[in-house]
């Protein structure tokens, strides 16, 4: 027993001297988590997407391109993906000015209430997303808080039909995802040195010019991060279009869920997932090339 314990340090040193072991361990457990929760599931979905559907949800593991051919021949799925991207773009476009304004205010604020305001930003994430989505039904329904308030003030004569529409879904997504825009902007703005802005104003720069030439470039990493977060989450949203959207609201995530659960066609649902994942990855690649992500991050760090 003592001999075995004495050899443990030697065995440990031998393992750690292995190049592959050192490569996997040196970044920590991050690579393991990424492999386990990203690459491995995506590999399984990719394999299923090239398989054939069987009876009662079974998967026949025979190589076929039938699922991708079905997508290519059916315009309805292309239109749904396009609409999902449009919804994601609209939500991002709405979240950017609102989130940047709030993040800029929090980053530049010197008030003692700053940490309370930051706490209010992240407070909604203490509540599950499904409960927050159902809360919008209470607010926006015909007998909801908003309609009752407008009726009591005499602004409208009858309830507004704003629930179960594209408007209600976009509103719910925008408000729910605002923290993903606010917090990255706040981090970038709060890191900007006050002396740089004072120096610019001392040299004759107006408030707008100081913002344009100092604050905006150095807050670009926060903007890029917020845009990526909001677009990816909103374009692939599931609960909001399901609970808040109407019959004309079509997004890819609920469609994939329907094909999985109701049609029991796992291979075709997997193919839709892979196609949408590839489209999102390609758009993000174009975005980062256009924005020059590396230069933006270096600008924010300097």
For position 254, which CATH number holds? 1.10.3720.10
Does residue 60 lie within any of the structural domains? Answer: no
Predicted pLDDT at 232: 93
Predicted pLDDT at 30: 62
Does residue 140 lie within any of the structural domains? Answer: yes
Same domain, 106 and 20: no
Same domain, 95 and 228: yes
Predicted pLDDT at 178: 93
Task: Provide mean pLDDT across the span 43-62.
Answer: 89
Predicted pLDDT at 292: 56
Predicted pLDDT at 51: 93
Does residue 189 lie within any of the structural domains? Answer: yes
The pLDDT > 90 percentage for the chain reads 40
pLDDT at 300 over 70: no
Which of 22-26, 35-39, 258-262, 273-277 is the least confident region? Answer: 22-26
Does residue 66 lie within any of the structural domains? Answer: no
Same domain, 28 and 151: no
Same domain, 131 and 212: yes
Does residue 295 lie within any of the structural domains? Answer: yes
Predicted pLDDT at 80: 95
Predicted pLDDT at 34: 73
Task: Provide mean pLDDT across the span 95-120.
Answer: 88
- Domain of 228, in residue numbers: 71-300
Same domain, 92 and 24: no
pTM of the model: 0.83
Task: Give the chain as a 3 state SS string.
Answer: CHHHHHHHHHHHHHHHCCHHHHHHHCCCCHHHHHHHHHHHHHHHHHHHHCCEECHHHCEECCCCCHHHHHHHHCHHHHHHHHHHHHHHHHHHHHHHHHHHHHHHHHHHCCCCCHHHHHHHHHHHHHCCHHHHHHHHHHHHCCCCHHHHHHHHCCCCCCCCCCCCCHHHHHHHHHHHHHHHHHHHHHHHHHCCCHHHHHHHHHCCCCHHHHHHHHHHHHCHHHHHHHHHHHHHHHHCCCHHHHHCCCCCCCCHHHHHHHHHHCCCCHHHHHHHHHHHHHHHHHHHHHHHHHHCHHHHHHHHHC
Predicted pLDDT at 15: 58
Same domain, 42 and 142: no
pLDDT at 269 over 80: yes
When the pLDDT of each residue in the chain is averaged and rounded to a whole number, the result is 85
Does residue 56 lie within any of the structural domains? Answer: no
pLDDT at 12 over 90: no
pLDDT band at 35 (very low <50, low <70, confident <90, very high): confident
Predicted pLDDT at 199: 87
Same domain, 229 and 125: yes
Predicted pLDDT at 6: 53
pLDDT band at 205 (very low <50, low <70, confident <90, very high): confident
The pLDDT > 70 percentage for the chain reads 85
Same domain, 179 and 220: yes
Same domain, 232 and 145: yes
Q: What is the pLDDT of residues 139-195, one digit of tens each?
A: 998 888 888 998 888 888 888 888 899 999 999 999 999 999 999 999 999 888 888
Q: What is the pLDDT of residues 211-247, one digit of tens each?
A: 888 888 888 889 998 999 999 999 999 999 999 988 8
Instruction: For residue 6, report the phi and psi dihedrals to the nearest 5 degrees.
Output: -70, -30
Task: Provide mean pLDDT across the span 84-90.
Answer: 96
Does residue 55 lie within any of the structural domains? Answer: no
Q: Domain total for the chain?
A: 2
Does residue 200 lie within any of the structural domains? Answer: yes
Same domain, 187 and 95: yes
Same domain, 24 and 78: no
């Amino acid at each position: 027993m003592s001999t075995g314990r004495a050899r443990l340090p030697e065995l440990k040193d031998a393992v750690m001297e292995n190049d592959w072991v050192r490569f996997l361990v040196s970044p920590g457990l991050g690579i393991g988590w990424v492999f386990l929760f990203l690459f491995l599931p995506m590999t399984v979905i990719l394999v299923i997407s090239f398989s054939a559907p069987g009876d009662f949800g079974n998967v026949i593991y025979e190589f076929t391109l039938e699922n991708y051919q079905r997508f290519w021949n059916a315009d309805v799925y292309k239109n749904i993906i396009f609409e999902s991207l449009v919804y994601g773009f609209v939500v991002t476009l709405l979240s950017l000015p609102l989130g940047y304004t709030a993040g800029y205010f929090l980053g530049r604020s010197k008030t003692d209430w700053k940490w309370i305001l930051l706490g209010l930003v992240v407070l909604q994430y203490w509540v599950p997303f499904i409960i927050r989505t159902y809360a919008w039904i209470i607010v926006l329904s015909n007998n909801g808080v908003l309609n009752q308030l407008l009726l009591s003030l005499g602004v409208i004569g009858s309830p507004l039909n704003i629930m179960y529409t594209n408007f209600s879904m976009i509103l719910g997504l925008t408000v729910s995802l605002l923290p993903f825009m606010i917090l990255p902007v706040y981090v970038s703005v709060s890191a900007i040195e006050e002396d740089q802005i004072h120096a610019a104003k001392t040299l004759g720069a107006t408030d707008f010019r100081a913002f344009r030439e100092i604050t905006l470039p150095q807050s670009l990493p926060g903007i890029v991060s917020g845009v990526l977060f909001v677009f990816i989450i909103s374009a692939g949203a599931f609960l909001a279009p399901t609970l808040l959207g109407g019959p004309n609201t079509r997004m890819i995530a609920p469609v994939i869920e329907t094909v999985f659960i109701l049609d029991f066609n796992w291979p075709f649902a997997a193919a839709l997932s892979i196609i949408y994942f590839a489209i999102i990855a390609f758009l993000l690649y174009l975005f980062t090339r256009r924005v020059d992500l590396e230069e933006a991050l270096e600008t924010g760090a300097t």
